[in-house]
Structure 1
Amino acid sequence: MSYLTLSHLEKSFGPARVVKDFNLTVEQGEFISLLGPSGCGKTTVLRMVAGFELPTSGGITIEGQDVTHLRPNQRNIGMVFQAYALFPNLTVAQNVGFGLKVKGTPKAEIKGRVEEMLSLIGLSDLGNRYPFQLSGGQQQRVALARALAPKPSVLLLDEPLSALDAKVRVSLRNEIRQIQRELGITTIFVTHDQEEALSMSDRVVVMHEGIADQVGTPFDIYNRPATRFVAGFVGTLNTLEAKVLDAAAGKVALGGAEITLPGPLPAGSVTLGLRPEAVRLGNGTGPQLQATIKDVDFLGSVIRLRADLAGQSIAFDTFNTTKTTPPKVGETVALGLDPADLLVIGG
């Protein structure tokens, strides 16, 4: 039996259906990310799991117990909010121990658990400070410790890193994942940041207009997108129109080259997806496409180039090395690819 099960969840606000027939099973200790653009329903799903929103229909079970209609304080859920939500009049230690105090935990036990949590987040020497005396990253660590202190069954994270600067975000997401693995706590993480979802998760749920478009490992979500939306939303993707030469044999014409794909294909034309890192600059084995460089973006270790491919725009990456000068704007280059990297994009 799954540790956490969401069955046919629906949520409507008036005539608007925000979440539509949402289903998800989560195993104990899994780290699941709900990924999608603003307004796709991911936070509403999280709030239903927390008990802050009542589903219009459907059910939620945790460890086999139906919690659909239980209040938040009856679910043994830990939640970390985007805005920290720390109590400004309480010290760090008092914030971390707040949930335990509300539950009536003995003072000695609270003291020991608070010390344990502060050690876990690396703030053992800051227990007597107040939230305003901490950096944003430190405040979010305290919020995480407060959520974990009562030993919840499920940890919910609602875009907890979005208010932090880039370097702190990367550092803190690594810490969160390390702590989650160390404790083995079942976690649902809401984000609109693809890099966060792909780097932190055991599985990713890509949401679109209230539904789960695809559920899978980060590898599958990125490399085997199931829908046109997932293919376009996760990572950078070139979308190229190719003329079908032989539908049964899977032969298409693209950029002056004939390419064979797994068939059969629809007659006429087909839309293909191609990741920038799958395109090779220079002659080599496989189909060769002639393209004209239109733009060169220096991104540090990687150079992103954009080119015209028989009237279509294609972006591709090449590593930056001191021994190789990237092509210049207006230069005609040969691009190589492996047909296996081409995705036939459906609905």
Structure 2
Amino acid sequence: MSFLVLDGIKKSFGQTQVVKDFHMAIERGEFVSFLGPSGCGKTTVLRMIAGFENPSDGTIVINGRNQSGLKTSQRNIGMVFQAYALFPNMSVFDNVAFGLKVAGMSKADIDTRVKEMLRLIGLEHLSDRYPYQMSGGQQQRVALARALAPKPQVLLLDEPLSALDAKIRVSLREEIRQIQMKLGITTVFVTHDQEEALSISDRIVVMNAGRADQIGTPSEIYNRPATRFVASFVGTLNIIDAIVVDPAANTIRIGDNIITLREPIGAFAQGDTVSIALRPEAGSLSESATGDTALTGTVVSTHFLGSVVRTRFTVGANQISFDMFNAPDKVLPQPGETVTLRFAASDLLVVKE
């Protein structure tokens, strides 16, 4: 049986339903990220796991025990908040020790455990400092140590990196993942940052309007988006409107280009418009490029982005972007130029609305 099970979870505030029939099973030691825009319900799901909110319907089971009716203090859950929520009048040592004191642990055991946690986050030399004397990244490490000190069965992180600058965010998210893997603790991480979710998760839940649009590994979410929302929200993706030519033969028309898809489109009729997804990095302009499919169109613009050059070109009514690695001697496509983008038919995905 899975370690953390969310079965038919719903949550309404008045007449507004913010979480709609949510199902998921999380394995022991798994790192799962809830990804989505503001207002999609991801933090509400997290708060229901923690016990800060009660589901309007459905059950939450942790390690075989139904959590209904249990207070937050009875669930043995560690929580890290976006705003750190450290006690300003307590030193680093006392902040980390707080939960252990509440649990009635002996002074000697508290001292041992707090020192262990501070070593884990690399801040044992700052045990006597107060939160106001520390950087945002250091404060968030202390918040993580405080959450982990009582040895919770589940760790919940609610956008813990959003208040930090970009460089600190990258290093701290890697530290969080390393600590999680070392401890083997089941972890749920809420974020609106797709790069964060893709880089550290075992699985990702992409949430949209209170529902899980797709649950899968980072590779599955990125390479095989299940819906138009997932396709547009995760990474940069071209959504192309194509006309079905022959559903039995899986052929479509994009501009003047006739293409045979690998994915069956039998559910569509001849003349229907179907949405096709293509990643910008999938194609190449090289005549020697391997690939069984091509699109020919007219260049609109070329943007130099450092290591990558992004070009947009029109194919029929569609404007499509593609990326090339930069090279000092590379001749860049110019506006008005006709180009042919070559790629594999398997790179084209039919996306649901």
Return the TM-score normalized by structure 1: 0.97
Q: Out of 266, 273, 276, which is 2:280 matched to?
A: 276
Secondary structure of the residue that 2:281 maps to in structure 1? helix
Aligned to 1:134: 134
Deviations 1:146-199 (A, max 9, x none): 000000000000000000111110000000000000000000000111111111
- After TM superposition, give the deviation of residue 310 of structure 1 in Å: 2.4
Check if 1:323 corresponds to 2:329.
yes
Aligned to 1:298: 304
Q: Out of 335, 338, 346, which is 1:340 matched to?
A: 346
Aligned to 2:316: 310
Structure 2: how far apart are the matches of 1:337 and 1:224?
16
Structure 1: how far apart are the matches of 2:300 and 2:135?
43
- After TM superposition, give the deviation of residue 332 of structure 1 in Å: 2.3
Structure 1: how far apart are the matches of 2:303 and 2:69?
53
Structure 1: how far apart are the matches of 2:306 and 2:112?
47
Matched residue type, 1:271 = S
Residues 240 and 312 in structure 1, CA contact (< 8 A), matched pair in contact too: yes
Q: Out of 277, 285, 288, which is 2:294 matched to?
A: 288
- After TM superposition, give the deviation of residue 231 of structure 1 in Å: 1.5
Check if 1:222 corresponds to 2:222.
yes
- After TM superposition, give the deviation of residue 7 of structure 1 in Å: 1.0
Structure 2: how far apart are the matches of 1:109 and 1:299?
54
- After TM superposition, give the deviation of residue 19 of structure 1 in Å: 0.7
- After TM superposition, give the deviation of residue 247 of structure 1 in Å: 1.6
Residues 257 and 287 in structure 1, CA contact (< 8 A), matched pair in contact too: no
- After TM superposition, give the deviation of residue 215 of structure 1 in Å: 0.9
Return the TM-score normalized by structure 2: 0.95
Structure 2: how far apart are the matches of 1:64 and 1:311?
54
Higher mean displacement: 150-159 or 263-272? 263-272
Structure 2: how far apart are the matches of 1:328 and 1:138?
48
Q: Name the count of aligned residue pairs.
A: 347
Check if 1:178 corresponds to 2:178.
yes
Matched residue type, 1:257 = N
Aligned to 1:263: 264
Alignment of 1:44-59 (within 5 A): 44-59=44-59
Structure 2: how far apart are the matches of 1:181 and 1:82?
21
Aligned to 2:4: 4
Structure 2: how far apart are the matches of 1:307 and 1:91?
58
Matched residue type, 2:345 = P
Structure 2: how far apart are the matches of 1:94 and 1:326?
59
Identity of aligned residues (%): 62
Aligned to 1:32: 32
Higher mean displacement: 220-229 or 172-181? 220-229
Matched residue type, 1:337 = F
Matched residue type, 2:321 = A
Higher mean displacement: 178-187 or 207-216? 207-216
Q: Which runs of 5+ in 2 are unaligned?
A: none
Higher mean displacement: 158-167 or 298-307? 298-307
Higher mean displacement: 36-45 or 245-254? 245-254
Give the alignment's Cα RMSD to 1 decimal. Answer: 1.2
Aligned to 2:17: 17
